[in-house]
Structure 1
Amino acid sequence: MKKYLLLPFLFLAGWVSGQSLNGAWKLVSQNGNQVTAQEFIKIYQDDYFAFGAKNVSDNAFIGAGGGPFHFADGKYSETLDFFTLNPLQVGTTTPFKIELNGNKLTLSANTNDGMLVETWEKISEDKNELTGNWVITGRKRDGEISRSTPGARRTIKILSGGRFQWIAFNSETKEFSGTGGGTYTAVNGKYTENITFFSRDNSRVGASLGFDFQVIDGEWHHSGLSSTGAPIYEIWTPYAKGYQPPVK
């Protein structure tokens, strides 16, 4: 089976008006072969996408990619902000084609290795008050809050369809610092992450982390203990508001 990550991304054609990509998707077949040895999860939300992939047998991290996508008038394109397999592709924009039948996306591309056909199945499009694409803009230390304006170097967290993924990267230097993701719940001020992949340490897969959260003036205030037991207090801003593209 050709490796999915050899392609920057998915080619889309034949869109059904009124449908939305927002939510979480899983790759189920490639060129007619069922995908069972690897798990690829892709999240769409707020005009942004991210994917993470791992081996099922040992949870070894395979790769990640993502960035803004644009869909209008039946045309679709993605721009890569990060892409672990081939960082040289960061910054490139690629048009795609799609066929949508209910909760299935059939994605096809004519690659250097021939035609690639993939089928993705929507896991969920559930929403809650933390559904969105976020960028970290503040932290509290010793009772003092410090704020920053993210530019080329940033950490984002995208949540949709009951799935989350965080990514730390620099889109200007094309450096990738890490990613992790899985399932989450956000109920009555309690936010819980269940880790299903982690680029830095796959032994963390299966862990659950609980935090307190509040949405204050449209920003996500996130507090608790990190995976290493250190206290954290983070402020996440909606990506479209918090991220300031570098001036060129």
Structure 2
Amino acid sequence: MKKLSIIFTLLLSFLGVLKAQNSPVGAWKAVSGETTSILLISPSWFTVTDFSDKNFIASYGGTWKAADGGETAVHITFNTANPSQAGQDATVPVGLENGHLITSAPGGGKQEWTRLDDGTGTLAGNWQMTAKEQDGKMNPITPGATQTFKMLSGTRFQWVVINVENGEFSDTGGGSYTFENGTYTEKIDFFSKDNARIGLALSFKGKVDGNNWDNNGLSPKGDVIHEVWSRP
């Protein structure tokens, strides 16, 4: 929990660079010992996740926007390590150096983030699951408190299931992806409910039509996974 709280502070500093310097939208990576931290930033959403080669550690995320005075307003939607942070707001300033994200931890010390991509691509952005196949039939998902979101940069993805009313977290997973010639392939780097899936690669037939993305394939067990994701 202590590490994630520090990363929370680092992220607040990180998001403050948008107005003052180049856009931070995209994917960033930092490594400390055996722990890898990934930040995904879209024009309005962000996620931060810690994981090792074999284990999911923690994740949090929410929304952000430019605030007065060159600062950034951040709203935390979920936090697996500290659920009480869900619903919290903060505004902070700060900087980017030589193409790297440099942030300061409480009590001193710096963390350097390396850019993985600039957040561009056919699937880049925020998505919400709006339909899912069950028993051979596509069923629309009725909007409710518990919702499934997916965020993609140019090369990275993360999905999360949360209660948008109270911030209660259910599940998350993510890693790297490619989308070429109608085939969407994702490699799982972390999965909060099942570490055994880490390292698996799954391929789906993918088609984007306007603001809808149809994703159709099989799970590791051979079950049909057919979903429709829509841009909010």
- For residues 135 and 110 of structure 2, the distance between their equivalents in structure 1, rounded to whole angstroms, comes to 53
My pick for the range that moved more, 176-185 or 149-158, is: 149-158
2:45 is matched with which residue: 40, 44, 48? Answer: 48
Q: What corresponds to 2:83 in structure 1?
A: 87
Deviation string 1:197-248 (CA, Å, 9 cap, x unpaired) is 111121211110000011123201111112332102111011xx2xxxxxxx
Q: What corresponds to 1:70 in structure 2?
A: 65
Q: What corresponds to 2:27 in structure 1?
A: 24
SS at structure 1 position matched to 2:38 = strand
Q: What corresponds to 1:246 in structure 2?
A: none
Q: What corresponds to 1:193 in structure 2?
A: 186
- For residues 48 and 79 of structure 2, the distance between their equivalents in structure 1, rounded to whole angstroms, comes to 10
- For residues 11 and 233 of structure 1, the distance between their equivalents in structure 2, rounded to whole angstroms, comes to 36
Instruction: Give the TM-score, by structure 2 length.
Output: 0.88
Q: What corresponds to 1:216 in structure 2?
A: 209
- For residues 190 and 78 of structure 2, the distance between their equivalents in structure 1, rounded to whole angstroms, comes to 17
Identity percentage of aligned residues: 37
What are the ranges of 5 or more consecutive residues in structure 1 without an aligned counterpart?
Answer: 29-34, 242-248
SS at structure 2 position matched to 1:5 = helix
- For residues 213 and 17 of structure 2, the distance between their equivalents in structure 1, rounded to whole angstroms, comes to 37
Q: What corresponds to 1:179 in structure 2?
A: 172
Q: Would the aligned equivalents of 1:98 and 1:105 in 2 still touch at CA under 8 Å? A: no
Q: Would the aligned equivalents of 1:97 and 1:107 in 2 still touch at CA under 8 Å? A: no
Deviation string 1:162-214 (CA, Å, 9 cap, x unpaired) is 00111111132332111111110001110000111111121211110000011
Map 1:126-145 → 2, pairs under 5 A: 127-145=120-138
Q: Would the aligned equivalents of 2:12 and 2:74 in 1 still touch at CA under 8 Å? A: no
Q: Number of residue pairs matched?
A: 227
Shift of 1:143: 4.6
User: Structure 1: which amino acid aligns with 2:30?
Assistant: L
- For residues 143 and 91 of structure 2, the distance between their equivalents in structure 1, rounded to whole angstroms, comes to 27
Whichever structure has more helix as a proportion of its residues is 2
User: Structure 2: which amino acid aligns with 1:6?
Assistant: S
What are the ranges of 5 or more consecutive residues in structure 2 without an aligned counterpart?
Answer: none
User: Structure 1: which amino acid aligns with 2:183?
Assistant: K
- For residues 169 and 63 of structure 1, the distance between their equivalents in structure 2, rounded to whole angstroms, comes to 14
SS at structure 1 position matched to 2:4 = helix
Q: Go from structure 1 to structure 2 and tell me whether the alpha carbon gap of 1:184 and 1:191 turns closer, same or farther (over 3 Å shift).
A: same
RMSD of aligned C-alpha atoms? 2.2
Q: Would the aligned equivalents of 1:224 and 1:233 in 2 still touch at CA under 8 Å? A: yes
Q: What corresponds to 1:103 in structure 2?
A: 99
Deviation string 1:19-38 (CA, Å, 9 cap, x unpaired) is 2111110124xxxxxx2320
Shift of 1:116: 5.8
Q: Go from structure 1 to structure 2 and tell me whether the alpha carbon gap of 1:218 and 1:16 turns closer, same or farther (over 3 Å shift).
A: closer
- For residues 46 and 226 of structure 1, the distance between their equivalents in structure 2, rounded to whole angstroms, comes to 31
Q: Would the aligned equivalents of 1:136 and 1:150 in 2 still touch at CA under 8 Å? A: no
